[in-house]
Structure 1
Amino acid sequence: MPVLVAGSIATDHLMHFPGSFSEQLIADQLDKVSLSFLVDELVIRRGGVGANICYGIAQLGGEPVLLGAVGADFAEYGEFLTAHGVNCEHVYVSPSQHTARFVCTTDEQMCQIGSFYAGAMPESTRISITDAWHATGADLAVISAYDPDAMVQHSAECREQGFRFVADPSQQIARMSGEQLRALVEGADLLFTNDYEKSLLESKTGLSEADVLGLVGVRVTTLGSKGVEIVGADVERVHVPVAAERARQDPTGVGDAFRAGLLTGREWGLSWERAAQVGSMLATMVLETVGTQDYTIAKDEFSSRLAESYGDDCAADVLPYLS
């Protein structure tokens, strides 16, 4: 079934600093930081949370429908996504703004400093989740990071229409108020955060962990190198370790790939554990690649790597669904 994915669509300018950011920071002078990092590499890649999730779902054979606002400069990017299985018919094209830009520098410890220019993204409020839902026959909407007003608007639309939806505030938690965050997550079938975002969301909303769980069906918390934890009122707590990596190239988009894998695994009917293992494997493949949409999934290789990380039973359960 088609899955609507509303989120940012951007061009990533990714740079590498051959050192450690932490060594350049003086603890008692952080109030007047003024630094410039001489980088040794620049690559320009397609990105944005919504587009990255859609690309991952499509690589696994799903039917992602991308929702978001872009500029006229999106044409070539849109052709790429369409060629790779992403439905871009419901992307709104602004007549005056550029597509968003993400500029990020990564150091040797995989720490990152980034800036995001919204561009056309605030015009996402012009998109109707309802229209896209009925036009595509979708059965799930993912409300990921893009314009905060649009995120709140679209989650409210899902509640009003009775649509199943996923709340994935990620980078926008820092920008959104506690009131906006509560309005976003309330009634969600699934809530994604990492462990820091989990604490920040609770702090900004004034809600306890139990309170948040009372507002959503299932909570998925990524824990970096410690894997992922899944918990819900009707879900026994699940912990899945990260998939084995062969290299570490760039962490940009790792979380987006995990979401794509877990959501697709659940659409296949897999258990929470199996779906999280699929997501973790996809995340590792992105970590091994420079760029968020520069990997491809080969059925046999993906199955083999699942077996390597999670055992033969996992690979056997997932293999029938890989196209």
Structure 2
Amino acid sequence: MRIAVTGSIATDHLMTFPARITDQLLADRLDRISLSFLVDTLEIREGGVAANIAYGLARLGHRPMLVGAVGADFDAYGIRLGGLGVDTSAVRVSATRHTARFLCTTDPDGNQLASFYPGAMAEASAIDLARVLGAGVDLVLIGADDPAAMLRHTRACRAAGVRFLADPSQQLARLDGAEIRELVEGADHLFTNEYEHGLLLEKTGWSDTDVLAGVGTWVTTLGEKGSRVERAGEPPVDVPAAPAAVVADPTGVGDAFRAGYLSSLAAGLDAVRCARTGSVLASLALAAVGTQSYDVAPDDLPTLLTAAYGPAGIAGSASR
């Protein structure tokens, strides 16, 4: 199955703050915040949600097509991804803007403060996804991107009759209810985290039942509690998280989950097995600093799944 992943492509500046961010917030001064954090470390890494997911898929033996907009400074990054097996032929290179930047400060509890500069991502809406779909793409994940691009990509998938997965994540805060409804309705899958789950319902005015009437499967990641899989007319299924060897950096863990999930989905496995594979990759990402630093190969999955979930961990039935 050929998978295209659309969304942001960025350079990550990852910093660690040794104290607790929440301890620096004064309850009676939240209307006027002026904080400066002296950080211990700085890691400059390659990232962006679409690139992170494509990286994970490539490590699992796929050749995903990456769809997004970058600056001329993407050359070395693109060469690296191409060497790993990511098809970058659909990446648009801006003549005037830099590749997006993600700046994030993380404390020992995993709390984060982040800023995102879109840069060349603002040109993603100029990408004609219909041409990409003509290259034999079977499945498209529409990730956080320039909002106009997300809407255009969704319309292209509907027009071509190609299965798409809605993953609006960070952009839910910018999108209005009508835009979110358009991105979600008819999706094969919807991905959110626990906070985004509630935000999506609030902004759309939908209930859980309304959402499930319009999407095939709704997957909500729950951090250390794992994930929840919901389908219309069925009880929700909670899938425990896979334990991480160490907790080094939570950035990009959700992207790794999606990569693992998509890999098993492409193999025709059921949602629970997909979520287990996603959780295994998430645990590897959590144990590494940076979003594209973990190492995994397809042959590693049976051992990793058995270690996390027992012999039943590698069992899976064909998805409907």
Query: TM-score higher than 0.5 here?
Result: yes
Please tell me the residue identity of whatever aligns with 2:11: T
CA distance in 1, matches of 2:299, 2:216: 34
Tell me if the contact between 2:277 and 2:301 (Cα under 8 Å) persists in the aligned partners: no
Distance 1:286 1:202, change over 3 A: same
Partner of 1:254: 253
TM-score by length of 1: 0.95
Secondary structure of 2:134's counterpart equals: helix
CA distance in 1, matches of 2:236, 2:200: 20
Tell me if the contact between 2:60 and 2:298 (Cα under 8 Å) persists in the aligned partners: no
Partner of 1:201: 200
TM-score by length of 2: 0.96
CA distance in 1, matches of 2:196, 2:314: 31
- Residues 234-273 of structure 1: pairs in structure 2 closer than 5 A: 237-273=236-272
- Residues 287-306 of structure 1: pairs in structure 2 closer than 5 A: 287-298=286-297, 301-306=300-305
Aligned-pair CA distance for 1:100: 0.1
Aligned-pair CA distance for 1:235: 5.6
Secondary structure of 2:73's counterpart equals: helix
Aligned-pair CA distance for 1:300: 5.5
CA distance in 2, matches of 1:194, 1:317: 24
Distance 1:183 1:298, change over 3 A: closer
Q: Structure 1 unaligned runs (5+)? A: 319-323
Distance 1:44 1:139, change over 3 A: same
What number of residue pairs does the alignment pair up? 317
CA distance in 2, matches of 1:162, 1:305: 35
CA distance in 1, matches of 2:52, 2:165: 16
CA distance in 1, matches of 2:142, 2:287: 27
Secondary structure of 2:74's counterpart equals: helix
CA distance in 1, matches of 2:234, 2:208: 15
- Residues 34-45 of structure 1: pairs in structure 2 closer than 5 A: 34-45=34-45
Aligned-pair CA distance for 1:216: 1.1
Q: How big is the alpha-carbon RMSD for the aligned residues of Structure 1 and Structure 2?
A: 1.4
Please tell me the residue identity of whatever aligns with 1:280: S
Instruction: Please say which of residues 4-13 and 221-230 is displaced more in the overlay.
Output: 221-230
Partner of 2:307: 308
Aligned-pair CA distance for 1:189: 0.7
Tell me if the contact between 1:97 and 1:120 (Cα under 8 Å) persists in the aligned partners: yes
Secondary structure of 1:62's counterpart equals: coil
Please tell me the residue identity of whatever aligns with 2:94: S
CA distance in 2, matches of 1:165, 1:302: 25
Partner of 1:164: 163
Partner of 2:210: 211
Partner of 1:127: 127
Please tell me the residue identity of whatever aligns with 2:79: E
Secondary structure of 1:211's counterpart equals: helix
Q: Structure 2 unaligned runs (5+)? A: none
- Residues 1-323 of structure 1: pairs in structure 2 closer than 5 A: 1-135=1-135, 137-233=136-232, 237-298=236-297, 301-315=300-314
Instruction: Please say which of residues 105-114 and 290-299 is displaced more in the overlay.
Output: 290-299
Instruction: Please say which of residues 284-293 and 208-217 is displaced more in the overlay.
Output: 208-217
Tell me if the contact between 1:238 and 1:272 (Cα under 8 Å) persists in the aligned partners: no
Secondary structure of 1:239's counterpart equals: strand
Distance 1:235 1:88, change over 3 A: farther
Partner of 1:321: none
CA distance in 1, matches of 2:121, 2:106: 24
CA distance in 1, matches of 2:209, 2:260: 27
Tell me if the contact between 2:228 and 2:239 (Cα under 8 Å) persists in the aligned partners: yes
Aligned-pair CA distance for 1:145: 0.3
CA distance in 1, matches of 2:111, 2:223: 12
Deviation per CA, 1:4-57, whole angstroms, max 9, x where unpaired? 100100000000000100110001111101000000100000000000000001
CA distance in 2, matches of 1:299, 1:92: 30
Aligned-pair CA distance for 1:238: 2.1
CA distance in 2, matches of 1:306, 1:65: 26
Please tell me the residue identity of whatever aligns with 1:279: G
Secondary structure of 2:210's counterpart equals: helix
Secondary structure of 2:116's counterpart equals: strand
CA distance in 1, matches of 2:253, 2:45: 14
CA distance in 2, matches of 1:229, 1:132: 32
Secondary structure of 1:97's counterpart equals: coil
Deviation per CA, 1:206-247, whole angstroms, max 9, x where unpaired? 111111111211111111111111111266532110001110
CA distance in 2, matches of 1:284, 1:41: 22
Secondary structure of 1:14's counterpart equals: strand
Please tell me the residue identity of whatever aligns with 2:172: I
